[in-house]
Structure 1
Amino acid sequence: MELGVVGLGRMGQIVVERVLTEGHDVVAFDIDDEAVATAADAGAGTADSLSALADRLGDEKRIWLMVPAGDAVDAALDELEPHLSGADVVVDGGNSHFEDSVRRAESTPAAYLDCGTSGGPAGADLGFSLMVGGPEDAYETMRPVFDAVATGPDGHDRMGPAGAGHYVKMVHNGVEYALMQAYGEGFELLFEGRYDLDLEAVARTWNNGAVIRSWLLELCEEAFREEGSDLGDVADHVAGGSTGTWTVWEALEREVPVPLIHQALAERFASRRDRFSRRLANRLRYGFGRHEVARREE
């Protein structure tokens, strides 16, 4: 299959590399020339505009958007629209709001798949978890590419109609907030508690057979190993919050209580008073997504 990839940041480059590794062809585009050069070095063909990318793909275009949620998605679709038909498939692999995905599915000439993507830069080696919404026939058409980008056939599935993929990813992120908060509070109690503990050793021990073992706990171990049990100069500032906010809004609208997710979101917004739990959450975002770590000023 030949896939057009639009957006060559960390995640977009991983999509390019994994698709190429599985023997598919890629045509890549980004407004950043260095990012395009990186994709070319990996073996991708390149285009200097979205129109040129569409022309290179010919009939039955398969296009994967990995651009920031919001206006950037709409701008890319507006530019691609004259080149799209019902025989084409467009995948939105970013963190779009599910209602935006429903709107785009209705207005885009191509079949539109909203694809929630989880796994962060670790997906370069392991593959992503992909939560897909949209027409079943379009999903089946893209299955070989999803197999390549995901951890394998079990790493992706069609969640339902348009919007369902990004809806599931939204709730996934809400759960992620709550899990990070729980680990942060537990380790804060250990740090402030009765014993002088090596928190890296605690995390490593818990990760070997304990009920609460997980990848996030592995990232706790990494954080304590690299920053120390006191987290060094990691700041009490946790960025992000849009998907968690969407999750809480949806819970309020559906009258579903989500107190843990709501509290975790509140902790992010309140990250003005120095808290160990938020400092760990700050560092964990680097672990799973290589997001920049805010540091305390000396």
Structure 2
Amino acid sequence: MQQHPIGLIGLGVMGRNLALNLADHGHTVAIWDRDPEAITRAVAAQPEGRLAGAATLADFVAALARPRQVLLMVNAGAPVDDVIARLQPLLEAGDVIIDGGNSLYTDTERRAAALAAVGLDFVGAGVSGGEEGARKGPAIMPGGPAAALARLQPLFASIAARVDGEPCVTPVGPGGSGHYVKMVHNGIEYGDMQLICEAYALLQAAGFDTDAMAAVFAGWNAGPLRSYLIEITAAILAQRDAETGTPVVDLILDKAGQKGTGQWTLVNAAQQAVVVSVMGAAVDARVLSSRKDARVAASARLQGPPPMLAVPPAERAAFVERLGQALYAAKIISYAQGFDLLRTTSEQRGWQLDLGAIARIWRGGCIIRAQFLSRITEACATVDGAAPVAHLLEAPYFAQALNTAQGAWRTVVAQAVTAGVPVPALSAALAYLDASRSARLPANLLQAQRDFFGAHTYERVDRPAGQAFHTLWPAVQG
């Protein structure tokens, strides 16, 4: 029996495409799924015979070369635990299990500890790129034991996307760091998508039809905003329904779904005391969109201006330019918040994440791949012995970009508010910028309130830092 260097369990869209990707790059792969028909379809899709289906898990394990490498592509949560429980008795010390799904990083660390106790390595590998990325080359973010990551690196590098000849994969760090980085990636993705949707809403309010909007996004994709999400937005807006001739986007119900990774990021950011307000606005927007019936009912009760912007034809080009600047500036804030969260967690957990390397591998394959990620790699680099910036807003390129764009950005947000067009992510990003650049905030009053009702004390501006003071406030009638 041929011994295969890698085995893959779970032949849904992502698993099947990763198996085919591995086969395309010369690897023979043992495959198994609880659905025998899924195995049959996958084998048939690879006519060169590099995918070997197994009837049982025992047969699957027996077909693997030692030390065995098993890639799980199953749904996060209980299904991962179930497969591990069935697989573990069939493996032996030195084998490695790789979870390529969107698992919560704390689950990954729990599983890694349990498997390490019986001599098995466990790697949590974030895989981004969706169906197309899995098939043609994703970005891969593996975390786990250093020796296991080193052993897997050539395999991952062979199937990952490439930018400037470099594979979009890097060993992230220990424990659940790989899945953590993928979680934050998805949080940034939420913010990116919401910002684009708000730009779309403003173009709609300004009277642009879908063909004109498609042209706007295509134009943006030729400049600093160039990215996968901008590119597919242009394609989406240009697509017509074959049956009715109507733009497909106009036929889609305005109720957004989510699988939870954005919410995980918000919870973790709150635990780490890191602001990710753009992601928060994006998650909130999805939740509000899901309440379609309530929104329709409220639209008949609650008053507000019609969502229309007065943009004469002669001013359209200027409006598009301002909106593009606002979108770019808010995107900078969104990524800055995400990288702040990565840095904070890395320091607290001792992961030593290489943020520049993470930005580098995100340039290709993944959903948030974008031209300006190269700028983030530069900002996170150590130059001539100088430490990298502690926050992306400190990087000269991004500071200059924000200073240049904020006039247009403020105009766009003001227009949206006046016209009643909700732009929660654009607004949250601008508020973050304004708070971050404020030498003084109204938190002095907040501290006074806390001291009033809870004797929480405060510091004084005219006394040395670190000293605590309390005022005997007058009684009031509640």
Query: Smaller-chain TM-score range?
Result: 0.7 to 0.9
* 1:143 aligns with one of 153, 166, 178: 153
With the length of structure 2 as denominator, give the TM-score of the two structures.
Answer: 0.55
RMSD: 2.0
Q: Is the 8 A contact 2:137 2:161 kept in 1?
A: yes
Query: Closer, same or farther in 2 for the Cα pair 1:55/1:195, shift >3 Å?
Result: closer
Query: Closer, same or farther in 2 for the Cα pair 1:224/1:269, shift >3 Å?
Result: same
Q: Is the 8 A contact 2:143 2:173 kept in 1?
A: yes
Query: Closer, same or farther in 2 for the Cα pair 1:260/1:235, shift >3 Å?
Result: same
Q: Is the 8 A contact 1:241 1:265 kept in 2?
A: no
Q: CA deviation at 1:25?
A: 1.2
Query: Closer, same or farther in 2 for the Cα pair 1:12/1:125, shift >3 Å?
Result: closer
CA–CA separation in structure 1 for the residues paired with 2:202 and 2:20:
42
* 1:79 aligns with one of 69, 75, 86: 86
* 1:214 aligns with one of 227, 236, 252: 227
1:117 aligns with 2:135: no
With the length of structure 1 as denominator, give the TM-score of the two structures.
Answer: 0.87
Q: Is the 8 A contact 1:105 1:113 kept in 2?
A: yes
CA–CA separation in structure 1 for the residues paired with 2:207 and 2:138:
40
Q: Which residue of 2 aligns with 1:186?
A: 199
Q: Which residue of 2 aligns with 1:40?
A: 43
3-state SS of 2:22 partner: helix
Q: Which residue of 2 aligns with 1:226?
A: 239
Q: Which amino acid aligns with 1:52?
A: D
CA–CA separation in structure 2 for the residues paired with 1:171 and 1:90:
23
* 1:65 aligns with one of 63, 66, 72: 72
Q: Which residue of 2 aligns with 1:14?
A: 17
* 2:190 aligns with one of 177, 183, 199: 177
Q: Deviations over 1:117-149 (max 9, x none)?
A: 100112155300001100111111112220133
Q: Which residue of 2 aligns with 1:260?
A: 278
Q: Is the 8 A contact 1:241 1:268 kept in 2?
A: no
Q: Deviations over 1:147-167 (max 9, x none)?
A: 133115531111110100000
Q: Which residue of 2 aligns with 1:160?
A: 173
* 1:249 aligns with one of 263, 267, 283: 267
3-state SS of 1:159 partner: coil
1:89 aligns with 2:103: no
* 2:257 aligns with one of 235, 239, 255: 239
Extract unaligned runs of 5+ from structure 1: 277-287, 289-298
CA–CA separation in structure 1 for the residues paired with 2:140 and 2:154:
13
Extract unaligned runs of 5+ from structure 2: 241-245, 297-306, 308-366, 368-478
Q: Deviations over 1:66-122 (max 9, x none)?
A: 000011100000001112222111110000000000001011242111000100112
Range with greater deviation from structure 2 (95-104 or 124-133): 124-133
Q: Taking every aligned residue pair, what percent have the same amino acid on both sides?
A: 35
* 2:218 aligns with one of 189, 195, 204: 204
Q: Is the 8 A contact 2:25 2:159 kept in 1?
A: no
Q: CA deviation at 1:225?
A: 1.1
Q: Which amino acid aligns with 1:253?
A: Q
Aligned residues: 276
